[in-house]
A and B are shown apart, each in its own frame.
Chain A
Amino acid sequence: KNQVEQSPQSLIILEGKNCTLQCNYTVSPFSNLRWYKQDTGRGPVSLTIMTFSENTKSNGRYTATLDADTKQSSLHITASQLSDSASYICVVSATPHSTLTFGKGTMLLVSP
């Protein structure tokens, strides 16, 4: 069964600090891995999408890495801001069915 596990479940950091969120997956055969940001009461918003051949992708202060051999990904947030407080969801797509498997998310709180 395809699964996506995220850690930690929740995290509190001080404004201006960096943090790294983890994602392990057992989805096979792998197509792509996505990171979404979901603000409270809103729909998820795409941050990055990485295919098998990509091992890093950045979007502003967000940098995602992918190790397809170990089936692990991380999302690094640099110089955190209060607006980064949200749930961060790792999502993996498998071929050929094209549906997406969602992790439960990491809830990040950036404290002033």
Chain B
Amino acid sequence: NAGVTQTPKFRILKIGQSMTLQCTQDMNHNYMYWYRQDPGMGLKLIYYSVGAGITDKGEVPNGYNVSRSTTEDFPLRLELAAPSQTSVYFCASTRTSGTSGDTQYFGPGTRLTVL
């Protein structure tokens, strides 16, 4: 199993550009998450999904959109990139919810810089 994979690893965007961060998991997990990690800060939840076709906002959803058309894929879309979106983005997955005690698996991250 590859686990959770993310592409790209690095990206530089200009203000106002758009991009999609890709995330794929091959563990047949129902729950998938997008986090951002700013220097010296804890991970913040952007969006999460409890299954194909179902998504919900996390703590910091503004400026982002997600979709979940399949169990495996959970892309994160940035529209009109702003410098405040400069961060490291992590995708993660769990078999069931965070309250269940299931192990959460993370991807390697995407380092995004908006100039």
Contact surface of A with B, Cβ cutoff 8 Å:
4, 31-32, 34, 41-46, 49, 51, 89, 93-96, 98-105
Known contacts: A4-B42, A43-B92, A43-B109. The answer to whether A100 contacts B101 by CB under 8 A is: no
Contact surface of B with A, Cβ cutoff 8 Å:
4, 35, 40-45, 48, 58-59, 90, 92, 97-101, 103-109
Task: For B40, give its contact among A43, A51, A104 (CB under 8 Å).
Answer: A104
Question: Which residue of A is nearest B99, CB measured?
Answer: A31
Are B109's CB and A42's CB within 8 A?
A: yes
Known contacts: A34-B104, A42-B108, A43-B90. The answer to whether A98 contacts B99 by CB under 8 A is: yes
* Chain A binding surface, main DSSP class: strand
Are B106's CB and A43's CB within 8 A?
A: yes
Are B101's CB and A49's CB within 8 A?
A: yes
**Which chain B residues lie closer than 8 Å to A104 at the CB level?**
40-42
**Which chain B residues lie closer than 8 Å to A34 at the CB level?**
104
